[in-house]
C-alpha cells in the first residue's frame, strides 16, 4: 500500500506523522531547511517560493509557537495566509470539520495547516480530500491529540543536528509526560529513523505508555539514573488538559522528583543541551535556572521552527 504522505512519485504530498516517513525524505527536509535559517533570522527578508498560494491555518486548539511560526514561514515565502479564528468561525455554530474543509476548498485553498485536539483529524481531512478528488491540496499536521506533531519533531531534529552534528553516537533522554505527548511520539520516531543508538524515556510509571519499549527506547523511573551521561535532554510539558483522573501528586511534588534542576542536569554530559517544545511550566517540569541557562537551546528551537516549516511548505509545493 502506498504511504499516504507520499505521491505516486514517492515525493512528499502531505505531512501527517514522522512514523514511517522515509529517512531520505526526513533528512531532505532538514537539509532543505538549512538555507532558510537566513530567512528565519532575517538576514534574507523574503523568498517568493509560494507566491500566489493560499495557506489556511486551521488551529482548533491553542497554540503560540506553531501557529505563529507557520504564519511567519508562509509570509516569508510570500504566500497568502488565512488564519481561521475557530472561536468566531462556524465551527462554534456546530459546523462539522469536513464541511468547514469543503467550504475552504471552495475558496481555493492550496494547503491546510491543521491543529486539532482529536488524534487523527489531519488524516481524516487528507482521506476526505483524496476521496473527493482534491488530493492536490496539501495537509500539514500541526499537532493532533496525542498522536503526532511532525514539524515539532523535525525542528527538534534540526536543533540536535545543529548542536551535535551527528546522530550516530548520541544518547538522548525524553523526560516527563510521555503518555499524553504527541511531541514525544514524533521525537521517538525521528530519532529511530536517524539512527540514534540510545533513546531513554524518563518519567513516573503513570505518565509512560504501557509497552513503550516496543518503540525501541529504554525506560527509567529514576530521573537521576536516566540522565547520567546523556547528550541531549528533551523535557516535556505536563499536559494537564489531557489528563483524566489523578495521575500525579501535587505540582510541587512532581517538581521535586521530575523537575529538571541544575543539580540533576549536572549528571548529564557537561556539553549536554536542554530542549523543550514549549510552553514551559517553570517550577514544575523545569527550573528557571536551567530554562534560562547556558545549556538551554529552547529559544533557538523556535527560530529553527520557522526554517523547518518553510522547508516543509516549499517541498510540498514542489519548490
Binding-site size, ligand CP (CB under 6 A): 9
Q: Select 5 or 187, whichever has its Cβ closest to ligand CP.
A: 187
What's the min distance (Å) between Cβ of 212 and ligand CP? Answer: 21
In a 3-state reduction of DSSP, which class is residue 274? strand
Q: Which stretch binds ligand CP (CB under 6 A): 41-49, 85-93, 99-107, 273-281?
A: 273-281
Q: What is the distance between the alpha carbons of residues 204 and 257, in angstroms, rounded to a whole number? A: 9
Q: How many CA atoms lie within 13 A of 27 on its CB side?
A: 10
What's the min distance (Å) between Cβ of 53 and ligand CP? Answer: 22
Q: Which residues pair with 140 in a beta bridge?
A: 15, 113
Q: Is 303 in the site for ligand CP (CB under 6 A)?
A: no
Q: Which stretch binds ligand CP (CB under 6 A): 6-14, 60-68, 163-171, 211-219?
A: 60-68
In a 3-state reduction of DSSP, which class is residue 30? helix
Q: How far is CA 305 from the centre of its chain?
A: 9
Q: Select 176 or 278, whichever has its Cβ closest to ligand CP.
A: 278
Q: Which stretch binds ligand CP (CB under 6 A): 21-29, 218-226, 266-274, 275-283?
A: 275-283
Q: Select 76 or 115, whichever has its Cβ closest to ligand CP.
A: 115
CA angle 151, 153, 156 (to 5 degrees): 110
Q: Where are the alpha helices (DSSP H) in 106-233?
A: 121-131, 150-164, 182-193, 223-227
Count of residues in the chain: 319
Q: Which stretch binds ligand CP (CB under 6 A): 37-45, 59-67, 71-79, 195-203?
A: 59-67
Q: Which residues pair with 20 in a beta bridge?
A: none
Q: How far is CA 84 from the centre of its chain?
A: 20
Q: What is the distance between the alpha carbons of residues 102 and 132, in angstroms, rounded to a whole number? A: 10
Q: Is 279 in the site for ligand CP (CB under 6 A)?
A: yes
Q: Which residues pair with 59 in a beta bridge?
A: 115
What's the min distance (Å) between Cβ of 64 and ligand CP? Answer: 4
Whether residue 86 contacts residue 62, with contact meaning beta carbons closer than 8 Å, is answered with no
Query: Which residue in the set 11, 46, 64, 132 belongs to the binding site for ligand CP (CB under 6 A)?
Result: 64
Query: Which residue in the set 277, 298, 306, 316 belongs to the binding site for ligand CP (CB under 6 A)?
Result: 277
Query: Which residue in the set 13, 66, 159, 193 belongs to the binding site for ligand CP (CB under 6 A)?
Result: 66
The DSSP line for 167-183 is STT-EEEEES--TT-HH
Q: Which stretch binds ligand CP (CB under 6 A): 73-81, 194-202, 257-265, 276-284?
A: 276-284
Whether residue 103 contacts residue 132, with contact meaning beta carbons closer than 8 Å, is answered with no
What's the min distance (Å) between Cβ of 16 and ligand CP? Answer: 16
Q: What is the distance between the alpha carbons of residues 92 and 94, in angstroms, rounded to a whole number? A: 6
Q: Select 7 or 119, whichever has its Cβ closest to ligand CP.
A: 119
Q: What is the distance between the alpha carbons of residues 47 and 33, in angstroms, rounded to a whole number? A: 13
Whether residue 56 contacts residue 82, with contact meaning beta carbons closer than 8 Å, is answered with yes
Q: Is 176 in the site for ligand CP (CB under 6 A)?
A: no
Q: Which stretch binds ligand CP (CB under 6 A): 21-29, 243-251, 272-280, 307-315?
A: 272-280
Query: Which residue in the set 37, 126, 152, 181 belongs to the binding site for ligand CP (CB under 6 A)?
Result: 152
Q: Is 242 in the site for ligand CP (CB under 6 A)?
A: no
Interface positions with ligand CP (CB under 6 A)? 63-66, 143, 152, 277-279
Amino acid at each position: 500500500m502506498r504511504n499516504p504522505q507520499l505521491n505516486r512519485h514517492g515525493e512528499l504530498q502531505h505531512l501527517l506523522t514522522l512514523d514511517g516517513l522515509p529517512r531520505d525524505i526526513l533528512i531532505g527536509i532538514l537539509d532543505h531547511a538549512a538555507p532558510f535559517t537566513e530567512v528565519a533570522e532575517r538576514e534574507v527578508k523574503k523568498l517568493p517560493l509560494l507566491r500566489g498560494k493560499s495557506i489556511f491555518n486551521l488551529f482548533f486548539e491553542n497554540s503560540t509557537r506553531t501557529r505563529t511560526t507557520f504564519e511567519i514561514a508562509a509570509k516569508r515565502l510570500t504566500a497568502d495566509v488565512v488564519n481561521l479564528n475557530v472561536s468566531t468561525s462556524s465551527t462554534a455554530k456546530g459546523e462539522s470539520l469536513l464541511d468547514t474543509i469543503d467550504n475552504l476548498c471552495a475558496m481555493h485553498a492550496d494547503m491546510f495547516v491543521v491543529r486539532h485536539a482529536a488524534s487523527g483529524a489531519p488524516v481524516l481531512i487528507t482521506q476526505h480530500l483524496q476521496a473527493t478528488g482534491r488530493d492536490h491540496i496539501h495537509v500539514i499536521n500541526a499537532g493532533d491529540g496525542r498522536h503526532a506533531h511532525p514539524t515539532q519533531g523535525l525542528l527538534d531534529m534540526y536543533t540536535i543536528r545543529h548542536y551535535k552534528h551527528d546522530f550516530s553516537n548520541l544518547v538522548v533522554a525524553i523526560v516527563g509526560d510521555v503518555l499524553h505527548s504527541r511531541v514525544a511520539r514524533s521525537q521517538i520516531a525521528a530519532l529511530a529513523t536517524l539512527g540514534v543508538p540510545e533513546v531513554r524515556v524518563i518519567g513516573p510509571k503513570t505518565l509512560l505508555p504501557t509497552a513503550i519499549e516496543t518503540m525501541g527506547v529504554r525506560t527509567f523511573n529514576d530521573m537521576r539514573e536516566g540522565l547520567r551521561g546523556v547528550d541531549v535532554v528533551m523535557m516535556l510539558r505536563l499536559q494537564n488538559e489531557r489528563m483524566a483522573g489523578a495521575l500525579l501528586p501535587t505540582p510541587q511534588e512532581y517538581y521535586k522528583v521530575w523537575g529538571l534542576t541544575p543539580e540533576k542536569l549536572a549528571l548529564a554530559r557537561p556539553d549536554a543541551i536542554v530542549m523543550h517544545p514549549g510552553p514551559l511550566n517553570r517550577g514544575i517540569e523545569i527550573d528557571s535556572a536551567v530554562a534560562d541557562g547556558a545549556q538551554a537551546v529552547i529559544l533557538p528551537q523556535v527560530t529553527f521552527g520557522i526554517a523547518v516549516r518553510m522547508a516543509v511548505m516549499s517541498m510540498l509545493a514542489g519548490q
